[in-house]
């Protein structure tokens, strides 16, 4: 880690007062030396750049577009670290582990819901938006965590479950209390269960209908997810207003953005699928405007499991979401790997429309949910099931509830290749906690709890997650000899240079070394060998060539690089030089599941 120090003395114009800009310019410039008498330093440590003034860190300023260069680490407070030995992770514990997160090399954390909740859907059933669930600590603990994260240059994105609340939420309790309650209109009520018939049921395995009977007010209420999660009525301006108040509450505390859960379902209209309605976009545009006006730099991230063309409207003209998950790409990466064929990946990216320059895709391999197979065809889904979830207990709804390492047979080469693609395809990568060390899952736990087991810190007591009795943990840790905490843990992987953790740190360091990965354009090369996925990322003068071998066998591939004739290739991991590009097809031989990142240089 290098520390670069420079006292400000020169008169130059400040373009944008951000650590990244300072870094790019290679110096820190000030308008007037006498107005900046302090000694600044830039820490370009693993946690991303941060400015240190006279030994103390400055609070992170929100630069527009920061999310484009980000690498996001997805954490559930409950699963990360237990500081008070109650068997449940908490904010205090999470704050203690921030050094690890910083070292890892990510610069943003996405926290799953930590609000007050009956926890019938792992916190996605919120009963009070403005408080922290007592198991995880207090609001004060959250504030402490937030500021220490910011001190390390790590931004924090929190969950905003806007579509629905818990049925224990006071609003719902009031709403259902009688048909003429003032909050009655805060939820979607109906006398029959036949309204909005064209709407699909998402949790096919548990729910029979999108309507649930409320015996108290003697009518049906609308729910797209579990029946204990009634949908809020966004046709009611009061609801919109109140939800903005909630967001404002957290933004004022300093959070850097929200992941909006279940966005397509905010508004219902008869005769439609009740998804992606124009009215929904209207609600989002209003929210975005308020965010931009009052908290510039904060971001909105959409969770909308839709086809790319249907997702595109959520970016609007850059006036809706900053980011959205690219759901259809993820299963196709797994599919391409197993088919040893790049076609699924290139095809979905060909179908992905252009998005406004200020917007960004969020890419992920695995997350806290099942590997969703909603956005694939029937043939593809059957294939995915047969290949990745031959055991039926691994399947849930329309998806596969497994973690990255078990999905890839714990094959290090495949894990590396998939992460290599995640880090080099256009978008902001998200790493699900534990996947950086290759944690396993427990398919015998119900629902999606199998992928939400305690983080494995060491080979010791409860895997270093908690000092409580193992029996009292919120979830049993993984114990088997392959994926259990004694085999897979942070401590042992830190010690070896060859571990997956060390490798993940390395690849993230390389990704951060060039803005081309976050913001560059992509152009696919289509070598005749369909097992090789090759693309060129370009931003300004920086050009990076990425070549991935999806096959389990060695491959020869000829790349048409005539456009880049005269450049030499520099392999970014080992920094070795490869031959200059000439007129003939560039021949590469690639080992099984091997990938190269080449920086193109004209010397």
Q: Does 221 interact with another protein (rule: CB under 8 A)? A: no
Q: Which is nearer to another protein, 352 or 551 (CB)?
A: 551
Residue from the set 127, 166, 555, 567 that interacts with another protein by CB under 8 A = 555
Q: Which of 69, 167, 303, 435 is catalytic?
A: 303
Q: Does 531 interact with another protein (rule: CB under 8 A)? A: yes
- Smallest separation (angstroms) from another protein to the CB of 23: 38
Q: Does 383 interact with another protein (rule: CB under 8 A)? A: yes
Q: Does 341 interact with another protein (rule: CB under 8 A)? A: yes
For the beta carbon of residue 545, count every other beta carbon within 10 angstroms.
27
The answer to whether residue 261 is catalytic is yes
- Smallest separation (angstroms) from another protein to the CB of 556: 6
- Binding span for another protein by CB under 8 A among 104-112, 143-151, 183-191, 525-533: 525-533
Residue from the set 17, 244, 526, 578 that interacts with another protein by CB under 8 A = 526
Phi-psi region of 455 (alpha: psi -120 to 50; beta: other; left: phi over 0): beta
Residue from the set 56, 350, 390, 576 that interacts with another protein by CB under 8 A = 350
DSSP 3-state assignment of 536? strand
If you ran DSSP here, which 8-state letter would residue 30 be given?
B
Buried b (16+ CB within 10 A) or exposed e, 262-284: bbbbbbbeeeeebbbbeebbebb
Q: Does 347 interact with another protein (rule: CB under 8 A)? A: yes
- Smallest separation (angstroms) from another protein to the CB of 378: 11
Q: Does 553 interact with another protein (rule: CB under 8 A)? A: yes
Q: Packing angle between helix 278-294 and helix 237-253, nearest 10 degrees?
A: 40
Question: Considering just the CA atoms, what is the radius of gyration of the chain in Å?
Answer: 25
Q: The tokens 């870094």 sit on which residue?
A: 23
Residue from the set 248, 285, 412, 530 that interacts with another protein by CB under 8 A = 530
Q: How far apart are CA 176 and CA 199, in angstroms?
A: 23
The answer to whether residue 378 is catalytic is no
Q: How far apart are CA 305 and CA 287, in angstroms?
A: 20
Q: Packing angle between helix 378-388 and helix 329-339, nearest 10 degrees?
A: 60
Strand order in the sheet with 395-396: 371-372, 399-400, 395-396
Q: Does 346 interact with another protein (rule: CB under 8 A)? A: yes
Q: Which of 121, 261, 416, 436 is catalytic?
A: 261
Q: Which is nearer to another protein, 133 or 326 (CB)?
A: 326
Residues 6+ apart with CB under 8 A from 495: none
Q: Does 307 interact with another protein (rule: CB under 8 A)? A: no
Q: How far apart are CA 183 and CA 125, in angstroms?
A: 19
Q: Does 528 interact with another protein (rule: CB under 8 A)? A: yes
Maximum CA extent, the chain = 78
Q: How far apart are CA 486 and CA 465, in angstroms?
A: 12
Residue from the set 344, 427, 434, 477 that interacts with another protein by CB under 8 A = 344
Enumerate residues 102-141 that contact another protein by CB under 8 A: none
Q: Return the active site residues.
A: 261, 303
Chain residues in the site for another protein (CB under 8 A)? 335, 339-344, 346-347, 350, 377, 379-380, 383, 524, 526-531, 551, 553, 555-556, 558
């Amino acid at each position: 880690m290098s520390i670069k120090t420079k006292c400000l003395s020169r008169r130059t114009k400040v373009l944008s007062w951000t650590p990244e800009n300072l870094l790019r310019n290679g110096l820190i410039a000030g308008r007037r030396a006498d107005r900046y008498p302090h000694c600044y330093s830039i820490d370009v440590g693993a946690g991303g750049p941060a400015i240190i003034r006279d030994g103390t860190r400055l609070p992170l300023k929100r630069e527009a577009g920061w999310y484009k260069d980000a690498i996001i680490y997805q954490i559930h407070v409950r699963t990360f670290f237990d500081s008070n030995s109650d068997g449940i992770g908490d904010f205090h514990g999470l704050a203690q582990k921030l050094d690890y997160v910083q070292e890892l090399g990510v610069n943003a954390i996405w926290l799953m819901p930590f609000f007050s909740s009956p926890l019938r859907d792992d916190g996605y059933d919120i009963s009070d938006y403005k408080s922290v669930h007592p198991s995880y600590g207090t609001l004060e603990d959250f504030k402490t965590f937030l500021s220490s994260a910011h001190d390390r240059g790590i931004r924090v994105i929190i969950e905003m479950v806007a579509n629905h609340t818990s049925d224990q939420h006071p609003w719902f309790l009031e709403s259902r209390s009688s048909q003429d309650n003032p909050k009655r209109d805060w939820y979607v009520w109906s006398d029959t269960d036949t309204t909005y018939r064209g709407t699909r049921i998402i949790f096919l395995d548990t729910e029979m209908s999108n309507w649930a009977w409320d015996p108290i007010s003697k009518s049906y209420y609308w729910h797209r997810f579990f029946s204990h999660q009634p949908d809020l009525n966004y046709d009611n301006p009061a609801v919109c207003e109140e939800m903005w108040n909630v967001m404002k509450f957290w933004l004022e505390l300093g959070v850097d953005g929200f992941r909006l859960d279940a966005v397509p379902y905010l508004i219902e209209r008869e005769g439609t699928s009740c998804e992606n309605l124009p009215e929904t976009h209207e609600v989002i545009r209003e929210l975005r405007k308020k965010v931009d006006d009052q908290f510039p730099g904060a971001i909105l991230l959409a969770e909308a499991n839709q086809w790319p063309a249907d997702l595109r409207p959520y970016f609007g003209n850059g006036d809706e979401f900053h980011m959205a998950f690219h759901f259809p790409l993820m299963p196709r990466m797994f599919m391409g790997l197993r088919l040893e064929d790049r076609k699924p990946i290139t095809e979905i990216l060909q179908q992905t429309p252009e998005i406004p320059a200020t917007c960004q895709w969020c890419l992920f391999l695995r997350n806290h949910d099942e590997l969703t197979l909603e956005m694939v065809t029937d043939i593809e889904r059957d294939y995915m099931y047969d290949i990745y979830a031959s055991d039926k207990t691994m399947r849930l709804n329309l998806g596969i509830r497994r973690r990255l390492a078990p999905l890839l047979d714990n094959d290090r080469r495949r894990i590396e290749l998939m992460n290599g693609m995640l880090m080099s395809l256009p978008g902001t990568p998200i790493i699900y906690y534990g996947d950086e060390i290759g944690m396993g899952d427990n398919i015998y736990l119900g629902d999606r709890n199998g992928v939400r087991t305690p983080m494995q810190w060491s080979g010791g007591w409860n895997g270093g997650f908690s000092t409580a009795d193992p029996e009292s943990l919120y979830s049993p840790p993984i114990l088997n000899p392959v994926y259990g905490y004694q085999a897979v843990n942070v401590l042992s992987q830190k010690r070896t240079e060859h571990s997956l953790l060390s490798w993940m740190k390395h690849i993230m360091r390389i990704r951060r070394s060039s803005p081309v990965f976050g913001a560059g354009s992509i152009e696919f090369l289509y070598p005749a060998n369909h097992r090789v996925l090759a693309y060129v990322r370009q931003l300004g003068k920086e050009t990076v060539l990425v070549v991935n071998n999806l096959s389990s066998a060695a491959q020869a591939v000829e790349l048409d690089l005539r456009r880049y004739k005269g450049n030499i290739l520099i392999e970014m991991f080992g920094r070795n030089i490869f031959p200059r590009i000439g007129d003939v097809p560039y021949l590469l031989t690639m080992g099984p599941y091997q990938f190269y990142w080449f920086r193109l240089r004209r010397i």
